[in-house]
Amino acid sequence: MKNILILLFLSNFFISYCQEAPPPPPNNKTQKVSKKTELVNESKIIKSYETKTNSNSEVCKIEIFKIETKYFTDKNSKYYFKTVENKLNNIDLDISSEEIIAYTKYRNNLDFNPFRIDSIASAIYKLNGDSKFEEAIKLCEKLKSISPNNITLHKELALAYKKIGKTEISEKHFEMMKKILIAVEKYSDGCRTNPYILNNCFEGKSLYEAKFSLFPSKTRFILTESKKIIYGYDIYHIMRFADLNHYKKYLKEGEYKIE
């Protein structure tokens, strides 16, 4: 049911950038009631079952994907970064959610300034907004070289190719964007305790726009009590968070809020 809802949102996005207000968030908090762990080859999936104390007393399932970093550089591992990277660059739609999330974790462990990704991504978004689709496609090659599993990359390529009449390649990038969105939402729900696993700040804005057809009006870095950096996105009091602790070494005091 969760994936069906995501696909409905994405279908609306692909037709056009519609301006539709998202529904208000539930007021009641979530109460964890049980938890179990499964081992899946080289990775570990923790399944947390939670009961939402809303009017319907809905029971939902959240999975948390964990993997040791050693598998990122193990050529015999299905999560070897080069293997996954090739699938992404070839727009291989058979790529799994686990491979997508593992690659994000790999990139976020590198000594690389993620603000560079934000700079390129925002420039691509502006080019498409200015109807400079060929330029946007060209700049996407630069983003692809450093973040091939980026939601912004495939979202903006899908739009640009569609606008210049290249429907087939547009649809491929749209399908890859859906795969990445589904992977992100499979292993995180965007709350403070289980924030989205993303490459960079701007990617979260693209996720928000793809889901709600609206761009976040308020964003901020937050230093949590556990000294982790998360990033908050807000529209109409619908707040979502991303785990962006890899930004920590590049932030100065005053550029984040302590909560």
Structure tokens at 205: 């804005």
Cα separation, 228 vs 201, in Å, equals: 15
pLDDT value of residue 63: 79
Distance, CA of 134 to chain centre: 25
pLDDT value of residue 217: 87
Low-confidence ranges of the chain (pLDDT < 50): 1-2, 4-5, 8-9, 13-39, 49-60
Distance, CA of 115 to chain centre: 16
Helix (H) or strand (E) holding 239: strand 238-243
CA 102 → CA 78, 107, 176, 221, distances in Å?
10, 9, 16, 23
Domain carrying residue 244: 2-258
pLDDT value of residue 248: 97
pLDDT value of residue 184: 95
Structure tokens at 235: 């529209």
Cβ–Cβ under 8 Å, residues 37 and 62: no
**Tens-place pLDDT, residues 90-126:** 999 999 999 999 999 999 999 999 999 999 999 999 9
Domain count, the chain: 1
Cα separation, 182 vs 90, in Å, equals: 19
